[in-house]
Structure 1
Amino acid sequence: MTADVLIVLGGYLLGSIPFGYVLPRLLRGDDIRRHGSGNVGASNVWRVYGPSLGVPVALLDVAKGLVPALVGLKVSGDWVAVLAGAAAMAGHARPVFLRFSKGGKMVATAGGVALALAPLAAAACLVVWLVVFAAFRYASLASIVTAIALPFACLAFDAPWPVVGFAAIAAVGVLALHRHNIRRLLAGSEPRFSGRLLRGAR
């Protein structure tokens, strides 16, 4: 029981490391929260600084979900893995190291958890994200569609019920954090990623 609590707590602390804040601060001497959406997630980092920082932040945010979920799965099973992954997502959204201020929108971290718990479903959802993003150039829309697809993909690939439940709750959480993006998408004011941003390395 003590080990389980430590794994979940470790998941929250790992999730709280704001790589989207730390990398630009170290490498550019800049505060990402002053730019774009003010978000410390990978999408905003990519939009502001290009793929040279956006890609590493995205990979590190995925790892924040993958590692605690995988440790929980190996040590204690599905339920602890789900709780540790959920804790990592909570840490990403409200990081203790930023005094519980606004963090990221949990998409990459949720993807890391899914990769640990349901790798085939995670791979299918990655394809969904890439297709939607390539078609429309909205990272938010790709994230929203992928979040909705995740529980269905978990069902399709016969993931355990705790994992399916996690996927459904994670989808609701991601949609809630994207509520302003949804309004802008409906209003036609959501910014797209341009070709320059996709290539650039500001």
Structure 2
Amino acid sequence: MSWAAALALAYLIGAVPCGFLIAKSLTGEDVRASGSGSTGATNVVRKAGLAAGLLTYVLDVLKGFLALWVAAWVSGSTSPRLLGAAGLAAVLGHMFPVYLGLRGGKGVATGVGVFLVLSPVATLLALLTWGLVFALTRTVSLGSLLGVLVLPIGIWLCDGWWLGRASEVWLPSLIWAVAIGTAIIARHGGNLQRLYRGTESTFRQTGWQTPPDS
């Protein structure tokens, strides 16, 4: 029962719609009605400005961290299996929030918060990947997707392989990175199609360039 309560609370924490609330308070409008239709930081920037988007990102990261802390406190366990499951619950809560009719964001920032707890060095490597890709392409989604792909490799390299640690130390985090990453990539289906067509939104000096079908 403690595990069930921990996962339920992790989901409810992840489901708190920070971006929706911030954009609503500033503009009076539903951020999901424009741009990509997401409640995430990128779409909040489009709707309510850079400061609002940065605040959304920070709060979404904190949701992932808080979800794991609460899950550990409620269950009395810091098992990697529990924390990974709580992380997945938080990310799914962000994507499919019960408070907003299951229409939320794409889970990247909340996933960052989760893996800053589970594997901080690998997470920093994934964030560096995002930063480099964004600097070169000004495309947030491409950086996010490549960062998701780098994360499990980073866990293997940074937490296990070169340190000679036993697999039970790092393997659970790698498995959860693959599971959560798969959910995030699936949630980016529309972005993948636009990247393939060359019509994905980009950030230039002139601002966000948002195609009509985004």
* TM-score scaled by length of structure 1: 0.91
8 Å contact kept, 1:47–1:193:
no
Q: Unpaired runs of 5+ in structure 1?
A: none
8 Å contact kept, 2:23–2:31:
yes
How far, CA to CA, are the matches of 1:109 and 1:123 in structure 2? Answer: 14
Equivalent runs, 1:177-188 vs 2, <5 Å: 177-188=187-198
Q: Unpaired runs of 5+ in structure 2?
A: 160-168, 209-214
Higher RCO structure (Cα 8 Å, ≥6 apart):
1
* TM-score scaled by length of structure 2: 0.86
From the superposition, tell whether residues 157 and 73 of structure 1 become closer, same or farther in structure 2 (CA, over 3 Å).
farther
Partner amino acid, structure 2, of 1:55: L
**1:147 is matched with which residue?**
148
**1:197 is matched with which residue?**
207
Partner amino acid, structure 1, of 2:176: F
How far, CA to CA, are the matches of 2:19 and 2:116 in structure 1? Answer: 21
Secondary structure class of the residue paired with 1:193: strand
Between the two proteins, the alignment pairs up a number of residues equal to 196
From the superposition, tell whether residues 71 and 121 of structure 1 become closer, same or farther in structure 2 (CA, over 3 Å).
farther
How far, CA to CA, are the matches of 2:58 and 2:144 in structure 1? Answer: 16
- What percentage of residue pairs aligned between the two structures are identical? 35
Is 1:161 the counterpart of 2:163? The answer is no
| Distance apart, 1:3 and its partner CA | 3.0
How far, CA to CA, are the matches of 1:51 and 1:35 in structure 2? Answer: 16
Deviating above 6 A after TM superposition, structure 1's stretches of 4 or more consecutive aligned residues are none
RMSD: 1.6
- The C-alpha deviation readout for 1:32-82, integer Å capped at 9, x for no partner, is 112111111111111222211000100111111111224445741211111
- The C-alpha deviation readout for 1:72-127, integer Å capped at 9, x for no partner, is 45741211111111100010110000122x21111111111010110111111111
**2:83 is matched with which residue?**
81
- The C-alpha deviation readout for 1:128-163, integer Å capped at 9, x for no partner, is 111111110000100110011111111111262111
**1:61 is matched with which residue?**
60
**2:183 is matched with which residue?**
173
